[in-house]
Structure 1
Amino acid sequence: MNNFNFSLDSTPPIQQYDNIGAYNTLRALMNRGENLTIKFFTSKDNKPCAWIESRYVAGFKYELQDSSLHGLINYLQNGIFVDFDINPTATEPLEANSDFQMEIFKMFVNAGKALQYAPLFRTQPRFLSAMLPLSKGKIIFRVERTDDLLDYLREKKQVII
């Protein structure tokens, strides 16, 4: 009689995201001077991320650090690429319940940037859609729409209709 020893490990192997590959792709896009479309979000493991796409490259996730966020925004605003991420795998999770997209959105609003908003009647009632055009691309936002947020934006002289 054969004795079979079946043991199933219930924990799947954890694969680390290839953020080095994502950074190398981003670097290649910037070196070519491409216009980028960026969306910010928080990943499932609570890391700050950007969804990056261009005219010729499909969207991909890039996990951000403070230096990479500043380098990315600097490129979008000024078209200047500097090698800003010396260790793409050193990303850290955010504090619990952080909304990274909202933080970036408010950073631009507080800086007095004029965002272009989709008219409220055209968007889903739960969300507010906005775009920030920059010299080397654009940042797209889709944030939860609340009365407090609308009041805040009107107080900051953002044109919302």
Structure 2
Amino acid sequence: MVETSDTVEFNTLVWRTQSRIRAFIAGMGTAAHEVDDLAQDVYLEVYRNFDKMPVDVVPERWIKGIAKNVCLNHFRRSARRGRLHREALAEILATTQGRLDPLMDTHSVSSVLSDCIAKLPSDQRRLIELRYQEDHTSTTIGKRLNSTADAIRMSLSRIRMALKNCVIRTLAATVE
């Protein structure tokens, strides 16, 4: 691969700014395990728009502007993903309840869900409480429980799947 002057200039810019840009990304409240990925996204965006870099602005300042936008988009996606998980579970339950309501007499979906949550091991119930009752993020829960945010998200995903299956089994049993 032949290096052009732009490639050399870009590589030099990355080498000179990467530690400060990573610190800037972390300073915006990004989880430690996500900093490298976001920094990579920032420099990919810089590379794509390298020819548009303003000549009258210090390059690091321009890159920080890109980093700010990448981080804000990341935060929006993360918030939306969490909200979508909660809304999806609510929608599944509402849809199920709507179809089964006429056939159910003593069980409501919310009481079935409560029963299923009560059947969870105490550590899983605590994760559900921290996430959905106390509204903590996976990162906060991870710090509190000496775990990673990724491990917490994976555990919550498995717990939600178990709860969904429990609710469906219980509701199907009441219909039969």
TM-score, length basis structure 1: 0.24
Larger radius of gyration: 2
Which of structures 1 and 2 has the larger relative contact order (alpha carbons within 8 angstroms, sep 6+)?
1
TM-score, length basis structure 2: 0.22
